[in-house]
Amino acid sequence: MHDDRTLVEARLRRVLDERIRPAVYPESVPLRVAVWHAPGEPVPVAEGLAAEPEPIEVGARWGAPWGTSWFRVSGTVPRAWAGKTVEALLDLGFDENMPGFQCEGLVYRPDGTPVKGLNPRNQWVRVGAPAAGGEEVVLHIEAASNPVVLDYHPFRPTRLGDRETAGHEPQYTLTRMDLAVFDESVWQLVLDLEVLGELMAELPVDSARRHDILRAVERALDAVDLQDVNGTADRARERLTGVLSAPAVPSAHRISAVGHAHIDSAWLWPLRETVRKVARTTSNMTALLEDEPEFVFAMSQAQQWAWVKEHRPEVWARVKKVVAQGRFVPAGGMWVESDTNMPGSEAMARQFVHGKRFFLDEFGVENEEAWLPDTFGFAAGLPQIIRAAGSKWLLTQKISWSQTNRFPHHTFQWEGIDGTRIFTHFPPVDTYNCSMKGSELAHAARNFRDKGRARHSLAPTGWGDGGGGTTREMVAKAARLRDLEGSATVVWETPRAFFEQAQAEYPEPPVWVGELYLELHRATLTSQAKTKQGNRRSEHLLREAELWAATAAVRTGFPYPHEELDRIWKTVLLHQFHDILPGSSIAWVHREARATYERIAGELDGIIGAAQRALAGAGDRELVFNAAPHGRAGIPAGGAGACPPSGRTSLASRAGGGYVLDNGVLRVEIDARGLIVSALDIEAGRESIAPGRAAGLLQLHQDFPNMWDAWDVDEFYRNTVTDLTAADAVQAGPDDRSVLVTRSFGDSRVTQVLSLAAGERRLVIDTEVDWHETEKFLKLAFPLDLHAERYASETQFGHVFRPTHTNTSWEAAKFEACNHRFVHLEEPGWGAAVVNDSTYGHDVTRTVRTDGDRGTTTTVRVSLLRAPRFPDPETDQGVHRFRHALVPGASIADAVREGWRINLPERRLTGAHDVAPLVSADNDAVVITAVKLADDGSGDVVVRFHEAHGGRARATLTAGFAVADVTATDLLERPAGDTEPPERDGDRITVRLRPFELVTLRLRRA
């Protein structure tokens, strides 16, 4: 038999494109269109509906960047269409390749009832099947002219990312506004042929199944009269019945399809636009659920649900109805799909507290899965947090983006730093925007790494990034793929159903220990420094506000600000979304974030000040309040008292230029260049700085990644470096314990203050940078005379170890990594730490000296600033202030303590008397991360703590009030059924913790 396969396949493509798809709408008439352009920010729906529009023609330009236009379309259904299905086709000027990245709309009836969303892949609105014709149709469209920021030439600098700089030129051309007859038979034929054509392309060329489909497609095409597609569509479909009904083989890969619309809470659009994106998508999905009884849709991010409730109550009513049916599923149990590398311990816990509580309060739904398809890697402390929140599963897809190493599993147990394991799934479809294409399903089946032991995976199905979710075409394709020979099988299921089946099928999956590091997007640990500083500052201010307000409430009856703290926490959690905190959003987002963080700081400072004044009472004694979890200078953790006098630091000139700082604990030499050439641990007699090297060294790199400018730093950035050694001035500071250094480079200027406080084992480096570089990367280097094969970085509720070497590609790929408050290195008997108040990115490298002592130099470099030009062309321009400290001779305990101290400076207040801690621990290894009143308003005191040094710990917690009862709880402050009750003797509670164990206790006051 002659091989005509390519001929038939080419015929299928052309006939579909040029004859069959156009016949889905065989008849149409134009609608009348008028438009009103809102003058500023979006207006309430009632105002948009009531506005008086002006006529506009198809073909006209409309929509200034970030504008809102209200279209009114009206027309009459022709009487000749009686009994036919009629739809309005509303094309605002869409590019079908950009769902989620351009203009969108929400359609309303004249009474304000939302109908559905419009986007490039969803341009139709069902009018109905008029009995007689002649019916009048009136629809209103709230259209958002969001500009295309990520264009076909991506990553080019653009001013479109902020309304203040985007200009006023219309962005779109009104393309089609028609009433049309919808021919369902032709539409079904299109889906038949698409599914078979896509399946055929994935089968081996020599397989019998492929040729069976080929011949059936050929017969169907023969049955189509190209001049009467509508009259012959049913006949063509009959020719396909056989190949569409052939069942899948028993060993076929099984896919749980979950309707999905990954909506970034902010990214290439501002927060206010996400509020509307969510309304459009939920309107679409509730409408689709009404039409498709087997369809299931899942939406994560409690914040987005809360936006619908607050801003679109008419949509919320529809959402609640389908949630009650179990088909519109609250997923993930987090406030937003946050970054998981940078949020602090308490913030990561509160993501689950607020997310899960919202779904419990609104729907009675207990989420057992964490749903994070797009997050840029996962910190090793996360499994314990997920478990402590009452959840047990994790889904993500992003690790498939790793550039260097292919992750070895798709279904596995992920083990965190404390030994907690979480059943985890990476969808092998390798997208969180699956559209039910044959190529996607075939890839999932081929790609699944756990074949032979499991055959079940999940496919998040729908247009994401604000693109509107699942379409009726995807649902129709899934119906054909339920049980089809040659394909993976597809069934709509909830995330819970998938995880229960997958876990039952694979009860002993492989185990991955430690962080899930994404070998991509490493620069998100540094981009948009002020957003990151705002987050860190807010986290610590919230700790202080809860601590002092709770203490004052118990001691003085101070009104605990439940509502204010709840609102502020939710705002901070929102800004931890995985494109805000990582610095990968447009300028508008970060401009608003900076203002939000400043407002939050003011509110929290007010709460802290009021609580401290209530505690201190009226008096003229100078009191020092210590919010850190360790005592300092005689002030207990969580308490206040008079600060005893300290020793002194001497400042002397150094031979050869520069200065020497000495406080009896450290002796630090700063040379004439303003660089640290010696940091001697006096007690140990140990030099910290590697011979011939200098610390506190600023290093500047060229930084132009191959793509994803704000997200990525590529390893070749290290190939060129400029050491900023020239100083404009090096002089003694205004006191007797500091040295002031100024430098200029490029268009920028740096001021550093190096200070050594009396009695302290830390040299503090305050760096102010007036930054005006572009496509540069600024690092702060500490070359240490220390031999260490691994180092510790703080993460949530503990620390994670990473190697200093690059023996394998896995280690080499971690050339930029995340830490929270400290990085610690140690060799037996001696260590050092670098602590910070607001930075996350860093690298650690090692070299062996070839001359002299042939010792090892291990260099810690802190990442300070970048200057990418996409998506914000002015990223980080301006003045920045950072605080770091070098801690020679530090153990891991010292690193933990100094990391807290640099982030929680003392507060001084005049008052009458000392303040005893509300709750204290007698073991520094047990770190109290939160002291607060219970969220339910009961007045119970909640204390959360963990073992922080990586070993077992026993501690006595002492409550500074009468305790009636103690209960171990989960993060939501509910009794933890699997936890032994703690030992209590009056107001003293004995706890025993395994390494890095997290515990929450609820103390009922007597």
DSSP 695: B
Q: How many CB atoms lie within 10 A of CB 898?
A: 26
The token duo for 448 is: 């699944």
- Specify whether the CB–CB gap between 400 and 407 falls below 8 A: yes
- What are the backbone dihedrals phi and psi of residue 363, each rounded to the nearest 5 degrees, phi first? -130, -5
Token pair in block for residue 27: 């008849």
Distance separating alpha carbons of residues 237 and 235, to the nearest angstrom = 5
Chain center to CA of 916: 39
The amino acid at 539: E
Catalytic one among 162, 183, 374, 924? 374
Based on the number of CB atoms within 10 Å of its own CB, is 829 exposed (0-12), middle (13-18) or buried (19 or more)? exposed
HEC string of 317-345? Answer: HHHHHHHHCCCEEECCCCCCCECCCCCCH
Supply the angle between the helices 562-574 and 302-311 in degrees, to the nearest 10.
Answer: 110
**Four-CA torsion 864, 868, 870, 874, nearest 10 degrees:** 80
**Whole-angstrom distance, CA of residue 651 vs CA of residue 759:** 14
CB-based contact 593:572 (threshold 8 Å):
no
Neighbours of 6 (CB within 10 A): 9
DSSP assignment of 740-776 equals EEEEEETTEEEEEEEEE-TT-S-EEEEEEEEE--SSE
374 is catalytic: yes
Distances (CA, A) of 185 to 27, 233, 234, 597, 606: 15, 6, 6, 56, 66
CB 457 within 8 A of CB 426: no
Listing DSSP states for 189-224 in one string gives HHHHHHHHHHHHHHS-TT-HHHHHHHHHHHHHHHH-
8 Å CB contact between 141 and 91:
no
Q: How far is CA 696 from CA 87, 474, 657, 898, in A?
A: 67, 57, 17, 18
Distance CA 108, CA 879 (A): 47
Instruction: Tally Cβ neighbours within 10 Å of residue 982.
Output: 15
In three-state form (DSSP H/G/I as H, E/B as E, the rest C), the secondary structure along 85-103 is CEEEEEECCCCCCCCCCCC
Tokens 């290894």 found at: 925
| Overall residue count recorded for the chain in this entry | 1006
The residues with which 172 forms a beta bridge, in sequence order, are 62
Task: For residues 997 and 798, give the distance between their C-alpha atoms in angstroms, rounded to a whole number.
Answer: 9
> Which of 572, 568, 576, 573 has its CA nearest to residue 603?
568
Interatomic CA distance for residues 945 and 477, integer angstroms: 50
Single out the residue of 796, 823, 793, 794 nearest to residue 347, CA to CA: 796
Distance CA 188, CA 165 (A): 46
| Residue 56 one-letter amino acid | I
Let me know how many helices (H) and strands (E) the chain has, helices first: 19, 53
Contact yes or no for 458/425 (Cβ under 8 A) = yes
- Positions annotated as catalytic residues are 374
